[in-house]
Amino acid sequence: LVTAPPAEDCTDELDNDLDGDTDCADQDCATDATCLAACPEDSHEPNDFQSSALPLPTDEKLLVAKFSEDWFHFEVDGLATATLTATLQNRYGDIDLEIIDSAGNQVAYAISTSDIEVVTFTNPSANPATYYVHFAVNGSNCNEYEATIDFELPCLDDINEPNDNLSNAVTMTSGTDLGVLNNSTDWFTFELNDDEMADVSVNFVDADGDIDLVILDGTGDIYGSSTSSADEEHVIVVNDTGMTQSFYAKVLLYSGTCNTYDFLVDISTIPAEVCDDTVDNDFDNDVDCEDADCGGFADCRALCPEDGNEPNDELTGALDLTKVTNALVSKYSEDWYQFDLENQAKATVELFFNHNDGDIDLQIVDATGTEVAASTTANSDEAVSFTNTSGAIAAYFVRIYQYGGACNHYDYEVTFKAPCIEDPYAPNHDLAAAAPLVTDADLAVVGTMSDWYVFDVDDSSVAHIDVSFIHSDGDLNLYLY
């Protein structure tokens, strides 16, 4: 006997119509008041079909029912990869999902029985495309879920390419969504006028690939860098050279295969130093009274009063002194001295000070301002020695300047060693020209030349020959033939 199955009773916990679904899980109960109360529609209805799909909401509770499936749509950029995740509590009802393209083709699906359903797929087109996600519940009448979607953009050249090396760096401008690959770097160039600064930053998601930032000056030397593992790299560039300067920015991928970044640059005038706020306002690495710009600030002048040798702040005002005690030099008042040196004479210039009170450095220049010698250690005291090889008597200038700290006291002294010239017994530079050996306290051997002497020794007599000299001025050896 063949008969029609009975109608489904939506409240008796039986599969009355023998279709495998019971009570509110049965499609026949879609309009039952009890079932509707148990599974109220969410705020995104009606979206039961692809044709009525709504934009995909994220990070909010959604509800899908056996008799009311959910359809949403979203856009994926060309060649980008999308990962869609649905989070639910499977014990209240299993939810499955599928991804459909605009032509109706299934491109991905997830049908596990876990609390998370995940699909990942890539848009094969170079153009943006619309995709649909279809949520359906199995094993119960309804369940709640949350949906999230993440995108990974393709590793494509950005609009500034080719700019992979310094020689084809592009003029720096602010930009967003620029890209850098693991086998290339992005280079930019910019100019700063005197008294200008640039705040250069790169913003990105470090988890997608770590990006570093390096700034180089116009000669290609590194000016500064930022190489953290944060989501931003940041370098302040300051030009206080008195002329326009060129700089380069190098953006490189330290880890990962590719990443996008926002590139930002802000050029402004260097702010003035505030001399009593413990902040390096003008970005010259000197704070308050340690900054040369604070020379006119009363508290700084009181801290570092000028000594009795002023004014000797410049080469043109250099004092003709070779010994000074308890002088004071500051960031806003250098000290200059001068002396004359005979041809082939040697000068030794010494500074004595306590480094803990502030670092002082020493420089020697000739009359043209060209450096001859310098001492710039990070220790107490500085000293240099040099010889005048100009062929004539020459003037030299000593520059004493404060490198660290606001000011410091010092003692200064110059000592001289007379030029090494031939003695009266020259030329006696080989055996044939040997001079009679005499006792003399004013002999000299010059350069690579040797001095030869001859003497007689009586039979059965002993001769003692001594040569005394200052070893630090040159090592001498004695030979007997």
Tell me the per-residue pLDDT of 400-441, one tens digit each, with 9 for 90 and over: 999 988 999 999 999 998 877 788 888 899 999 998 888 876
Overall fold of domain 39-152: Jelly Rolls (2.60.120)
Tell me the per-residue pLDDT of 155-197, one tens digit each, with 9 for 90 and over: 777 777 788 889 999 887 666 557 776 667 899 999 999 999 9
- Domain boundaries, given as residue ranges, for the chain: 39-152, 166-269, 306-417, 421-481
pLDDT at residue 284 greater than cutoff 70: yes
Cβ atoms of 326 and 411 closer than 8 Å: yes
Domains 39-152 and 306-417 share a fold: yes
Stretch 251-269: mean pLDDT, rounded? Answer: 88
pLDDT at residue 298 greater than cutoff 80: yes
**Per-residue pLDDT band at 360 (split at 50, 70, 90):** very high
Taking alpha carbons only, the member of 23, 21, 20 closest to residue 9 is 23
pLDDT at residue 466 greater than cutoff 70: yes
What percent of the chain shows pLDDT beyond 90? 52
pLDDT at residue 475 greater than cutoff 80: yes
**Per-residue pLDDT band at 323 (split at 50, 70, 90):** very high
pLDDT at residue 25 greater than cutoff 80: no
Pick the CATH number of 166-269 from 3.40.50.300, 2.60.120.380, 3.30.70.20, 3.40.640.10: 2.60.120.380
Question: Secondary structure of the chain in the HEC alphabet?
Answer: CCCCCCCCCCCCCCCCCCCCCCHHHCHHHCCCHHHHHHCCCCCCCCCCCHHHCEECCCCCCEEEECCECEEEEEEECCCCEEEEEEEECHHHCEEEEEEEECCCCEEEEECCCCCEEEEEEECCCCCCEEEEEEEEEECCCEEEEEEEEEEECCCCCCCCCCCCCHHHCEECCCEEEEEEECCCEEEEEEEECCCEEEEEEEECCHHHCCEEEEEEECCCCEEEEECCCCCEEEEEEEECCCCCEEEEEEEEECCCCEEEEEEEEEEEECCCCCCCCCCCCCCCCCCHHHCHHHHHCHHHHHHCCCCCCCCCCCHHHCECCCEEEEEEEECCECEEEEEEECCCCEEEEEEECCHHHCEEEEEEEECCCCEEEEECCCCCCEEEEEECCCCCCEEEEEEEEEEECCEEEEEEEEEEECCCCCCCCCCCCCHHHCEECCCCCCCCCCCCCCCCEECCCCCCCCCCCCCCCCHHHCCCCCCCC
Tell me the per-residue pLDDT of 93-116, one tens digit each, with 9 for 90 and over: 889 999 999 999 999 999 999 999
Please give the CATH number for the structural domain made up of 306-417.
Answer: 2.60.120.380
| Prediction pTM value | 0.51
